[in-house]
Amino acid sequence: MKAPRVWSWIALTLGLLYFFLPLIGTIEFSLRKRRGEYSLDAYRWVFEDPKFRETFSYSVVMALFTIVVGVLIVVPTAYWVRLKFPRLRPLVEFVTLLPLVIPPIVIVFGYIRLYNTSSFLPLTGTASGTNLLLMMGYATLSLPYMYRAVDTGLRTIDVRTLTEAAQSLGANWPTIIGRVIMPNVLVAVMSGAFLTFAIVIGEFVMAALLNRPAFGPYLQLIGANRAYEPAALAVIAFSITWICMGLIQLATLLTRHSRPPRS
Amino acid sequence: MSFLEIEHLEKSFGSVRVVKDFNLPIEKGEFVSLLGPSGCGKTTVLRMVAGFETPSTGSIRIDGRDVVSLRPNQRNIGMVFQSYALFPNLTVAQNVAFGLKVKGVKVADRTARVAEMLRLIGLEGYDDRYPFQLSGGQQQRVALARALAVQPQVLLLDEPLSALDAKIRVSLREEIRDIQRRLAITTIFVTHDQEEALSISDRVVVMNGGVAEQVGQPFEIYNRPSTRFVAEFVGTLNLIEARVLDRDSGRIGIGSREASLGRPLTSDRLTLGIRPEALTLGRAADRDMVLEGRIDDVHFLGSVIRIQATVAGERVMLDTFNRPGTPPPAPGQAAEFSVHPEDLLVLEGERSP
Ligand SMILES: Nc1ncnc2c1ncn2[C@@H]1O[C@H](COP(=O)(O)OP(=O)(O)O)[C@@H](O)[C@H]1O
Ligand SMILES: [Mg+2]
């Protein structure tokens, strides 16, 4: 074996250890609730906790709404910018990056100031109003990922010519976006959607400050009060992320027309 | 009044006028080509007809109705693009059905129409293929079927063959022309390839710098170009400088020879344009204008022998038909060439670079 090969193997092994050791440690720890033997007791406890089910389903529903709203905002915007204002693209890209620069805590304090019960739009006065606010906050947080994913998807098609072809066939804007643009960026939208899902499931700051029963604050609560269950929760959360990644791959595979052309 | 009427059409992008006073009446069922070098404004004219660009001034009427204020999706115009522009997520059948679906045509009628269109373009049985599974020529035929499925009033094609191989380009252009004739659909075809334009059009519009320099049948454009640009752009043309010896009688000098054009002239210098097929090697009975020169190169192409020669200091090219009894001339040899004065294109004014 040649020397460079040895070094690449060492690098790979170190990388894998760095990645997997904490994971294995966590899994191992989560199984040790019963003294002296491995068991799924911690998991059983988690799944039997009604708070887990409540907060988790709350977050899932929030994530789904966030995805829908995010797609409805981002796809037409990215499309329109590409079609009509290509010069504005760097600016729009910069704006979509802002949520990475501005801490969520600033955003949420801004929300609370703007929409408190004595404001012109007292959203925080009701549960559904606060949910709406939280969802908008989530949509903002996922904006950088969603926009980039969709914009990359749009780059793979000739947006302008396809739009004109559809127009000359009599299509109006909703038809063009719904039947031509959306299906062709679907894989990109999916990957944006799964990233959004992962973000929303784990988000803590906004949900905690808006005092909504989301999964993030629950995770924090359990982490502060119990020993083995947080590890089990971490493993569950991690699995969800991985399932999301797998679904992205699956979506790519299942889209027949996006296979590369035969050479 | 013509079916499609373009009058005083102008378009400026910022301060640049890219289409200038463009006028073109097109009869129903006519096949008209816009021919010109890249950047002369062909696509811009087409896009104004389609509704993708708004004219700065001028009018476009289809069947008596002014369409300038209509949006592209209200114009009932079929468009075929150089890049095919098939919807990648839809199958061949779904692509062809797209316009029908948008119009709200019933499923049964739609299916029948799609089948009819696929038969028309010779792609029966390709219904369920995706665009990426087709060759370029097949994709462009699907694009044509898609545009025609909705029975547009006018069909617009913007360099539809430019992305294809030479061989398919020729066969597909014949196919397009054939389909156009069968459906008798009014068509504007944009190309920068003069052979393409001449071979399939009822009329050709030669454009230069946003201006329609000449509009006419291919035979007319080729044989009686009205401007110097048209003469040089369409077909191969040998250019020979001549001195005017006597304006009134039309006597001119070419190299050491003199000849008469038999018509009065207006300037002192002029350029003679001679098509390769109008120039004959040696003297011929009815070709009484004789030039002398030297043969540079001979290409035997089978039915045609292409000869490169120098006449009066200019490089010229001529084609003669092969005859079994006459072997081709040898390069380097001095020779006489003859031409019928009526076959000469007299180009007065400055020679373009
Ligand atoms: N949207 C546009 N903005 C600015 N200039 C344009 C635009 N479209 C075309 N042009 C200019 O107009 C001229 C004619 O273009 P075009 O109609 O595409 O020419 P052709 O199709 O004959 O090659 C070119 O010089 C081109 O640069
Ligand atoms: Mg063009």
The ligand placed nearest to the CA atom of residue B16 is 1
pLDDT in tens, B57-74: 999 999 999 999 999 999
B76 min Cα distance to partner chain A (Å): 7
Cβ count near A29 (within 10 Å): 17
Cβ of A168 within 8 Å of Cβ of B133? The answer is: no
pLDDT in tens, B268-314: 778 888 999 888 888 887 787 888 889 999 998 888 889 999 988 88
Is A261 in the B-facing interface, judged by CB distances under 8 Å?
yes
Structural tokens at position B324: 């079994």
Q: Which atom of ligand 1 is nearest to the CA of B45?
A: 17
A179 min Cα distance to partner chain B (Å): 9
Ligand 2 centre from B76 Cα, in Å? 22
Q: Are B170 and B162 in contact (CB under 8 A)?
A: no
Structural tokens at position A163: 């739009």
Q: Are B347 and B294 in contact (CB under 8 A)?
A: no
Q: Is pTM beyond 0.90 here?
A: no
Structural tokens at position A97: 């990056």
pLDDT in tens, B12-21: 999 999 999 9
Cβ of A162 within 8 Å of Cβ of B85? The answer is: yes
Q: Are B249 and B305 in contact (CB under 8 A)?
A: no
Cβ of B131 within 8 Å of Cβ of A257? The answer is: yes
Domain covering B237-348 in this structure, CATH number: 2.40.50.140
B304/A172 Cα distance (integer angstroms): 55
Q: Which domains does chain A have, with CATH numbers?
A: 25-30+41-257 (1.10.3720.10)
Cβ of A158 within 8 Å of Cβ of B83? The answer is: yes
The ligand placed nearest to the CA atom of residue B159 is 2
Choose the closest CB to A161 out of B51, B85, B131.
B85
Cβ count near A15 (within 10 Å): 10
- Contacts of residue B47, defined as CB under 8 A and 6 or more positions apart, other chains included, come to B53
pLDDT tier, B6 (very low <50, low <70, confident <90, very high otherwise): very high
pLDDT tier, B150 (very low <50, low <70, confident <90, very high otherwise): very high
Smallest CA–CA distance from A174 into chain B, residue: B102
Amino acid A261: pLDDT: 44
AA identity, residue B170: V
Q: What is the mean pLDDT of chain B?
A: 91
Amino acid A209: pLDDT: 92
Three-class SS of chain A: CCHHHHHHHHHHHHHHHHHHHHHHHHHHHHCCCCCCCCCCHHHHHHHHCHHHHHHHHHHHHHHHHHHHHHHHHHHHHHHHHHHHCHHHHHHHHHHHHHHHHCCHHHHHHHHHHHCCCCCCCCHHHCHHHHHHHHHHHHHHHHHHHHHHHHHHHHHCCCHHHHHHHHHHCCCCHHHHHHHHHHHHCHHHHHHHHHHHHHHHHHCCHHHHHCCCCCHHHHHHHHHHHCCCHHHHHHHHHHHHHHHHHHHHHHHHHHCHHHCCCCC
Cβ of A161 within 8 Å of Cβ of B81? The answer is: yes
Is A171 in the B-facing interface, judged by CB distances under 8 Å?
yes
Greater model confidence, B292 or B177: B177
Amino acid A256: pLDDT: 59
pLDDT in tens, B99-116: 999 999 999 999 999 999
What radius of gyration, in Å, describes the C-alpha atoms of chain A? 22
Sign of CA dihedral B248, B254, B256, B262: negative
Amino acid A263: pLDDT: 37
Is the pLDDT at B91 greater than 70, yes or no?
yes
Statement: B4-232 belongs to CATH 3.40.50.300: yes
Sequence ranges of the domains in chain B: 4-232, 237-348
Nearest CA to ligand 1 atom 27: B39
Q: Are B207 and B214 in contact (CB under 8 A)?
A: no
Structural tokens at position A223: 């982490």
Amino acid B25: pLDDT: 96
Choose the closest CB to B89 out of A167, A175, A183.
A183
Angle between helices A229-254 and A41-48 (to 10 degrees): 80
Residue of B11, B42, B44 to mutate, ligand 1, most atoms within 8 A of C-beta: B44
Residues on chain B touching A165 (C-beta within 8 angstroms) = 79, 81, 85-87, 143, 146
β-partners of residue B260 are: B251
Is B147 in the A-facing interface, judged by CB distances under 8 Å?
yes
Among B215, B178, B174, B179, CA closest to B196: B174
DSSP letters, B40-97, are SSHHHHHHHHHTSS--SEEEEEETTEE-TTS-GGGS-EEEE-TT----TTS-HHHHHH
Q: Are A187 and A251 in contact (CB under 8 A)?
A: yes
Nearest CA to ligand 1 atom 2: B13
Structural tokens at position A36: 């002296």
pLDDT in tens, B225-277: 988 899 989 988 898 888 888 888 888 888 778 888 777 887 777 888 899 98
- Measured between its terminal Cα atoms, the distance across chain A in Å is 35
Cβ of B78 within 8 Å of Cβ of A262? The answer is: no
Those residues of chain A that have pLDDT short of 70 are: 1-3, 255-263
B297/B295 Cα distance (integer angstroms): 6
